[in-house]
Amino acid sequence: MEKTPSYFVTKEAPARISSMAKGTKLIVVVRDPVTRAISDYTQTLSKKPDIPTFESLTFKNRTTGLIDTSWSAIQIGIYAKHLENWLLYFPIGQILFVSGERLISDPAGELGRVQDFLGLKRIITDKHFYFNKTKGFPCLKKAEGSSKPHCLGKTKGRTHPDIDQEVVQRLRDFYRPFNMKFYQMTGQDFGWD
């Protein structure tokens, strides 16, 4: 197993992985691209507090509403574009798309889908999780080989800055056609809007 979020958006990755192991099963966790962009911005902001506002980085021209698709936080969420590249090398049946939202609302259900996809016996169930209100995420009741609960690290579950709702709506409108295409390509409606 190997993982990194950047594989899905790196143009060369599908060809390289295919040439190494054509039968590889791929698991891609996706979430609402607007939320994802804000989350990426929040992570950058935690490292560089003096960066421009989310709103100013979102647009090439705010007056006309032209979205800056060269900004990586925006580009990553155009999932249909990235998937097209992967489908040149892998059939859709070798790729499982996991909903980031359902990982939070129903972690055992989403992990059940992962276990099925990998041909594994379903071992992970609801009994393995509890919801941590402070983090806003489900956590493992205990980590493997430990008696202590395990939650995502302190870099996960950060509070997002308040973003102008008009900007959020413009981004929803921008992503909508890409999301619809992605739903069609995957046969899965993620319910983003």
- 31 among annotated binding-site residues: yes
Q: What is the dihedral of CA 91, 182, 13, 26, to 10 degrees?
A: -50
- 23 among annotated binding-site residues: no
- Identify the CA nearest to 96 among candidates 76, 112, 74, 73: 112
The CA–CA distances, whole Å, from 86 to 28, 49, 184 equal 11, 35, 15
- 105 among annotated binding-site residues: no
- 72 among annotated binding-site residues: no
Q: What is the distance between the alpha carbons of residues 74 and 29, in angstroms, rounded to a whole number?
A: 17
The CA–CA distances, whole Å, from 69 to 6, 73, 84, 90, 165 equal 17, 9, 17, 26, 19
- 39 among annotated binding-site residues: yes
Q: What is the distance between the alpha carbons of residues 141 and 147, in angstroms, rounded to a whole number?
A: 8
Is 118 strand, coil or helix? coil
- 158 among annotated binding-site residues: yes
The annotation places the binding site at: 31, 39, 156-160
The annotation places the binding site for 3'-phosphoadenylyl sulfate at: 31, 39, 156-160
